[in-house]
Amino acid sequence: MFGAPERLGQADAWFCSGCKEHVRATKALTLWSAPPVLVVQLKRFAFSRHQRSRINTTVDFPVSGLDMGPFLAGPAAGGAVYDLFAVSEHMGGLGGGHYTAQVRSVADGQWYDCDDSVP
């Protein structure tokens, strides 16, 4: 959804030199290229005027072969395929909590739990 076009409101209208009127614009985010290592940070908490809460939406993410090529605008768009090798997880609330991680070993390809509260 980050690349979906968004129509700006009337307050953000710009002056068109062709038709000589203020018009509502559409904007879209595009990425030119991708980094060698892609880090994705997900929003964990929802904030409203009266409440703060944890977002519990399940994230379906491929463990291998995430192709970011279709989201790139630059000439090197084809070489952006990623494999997942680590996940950092937070347990707890806004005021505190505990972080753990799941990591995949490059030596044996197995996934390991990293939790400093477990001996």
Question: Domain residues of the chain, as ranges?
Answer: 1-30, 31-114
Pairing type for strands 81-82 and 86-93 reads unpaired
Global pTM reads: 0.64
- Whole-number Å distance between alpha carbons of 83 and 70: 16
Strand positions, DSSP E, the chain? 6-7, 14-16, 21-23, 26-27, 45-47, 52-54, 66-67, 81-82, 86-93, 96-104, 111-114
Decide if pLDDT at 48 tops 90: no
Decide if pLDDT at 96 tops 90: no
pLDDT digits (tens, 9 = 90+) for 75-85: 765 668 999 99
pLDDT digits (tens, 9 = 90+) for 14-47: 888 889 888 888 888 788 888 888 888 887 777 7
% of the chain at pLDDT higher than 70: 92
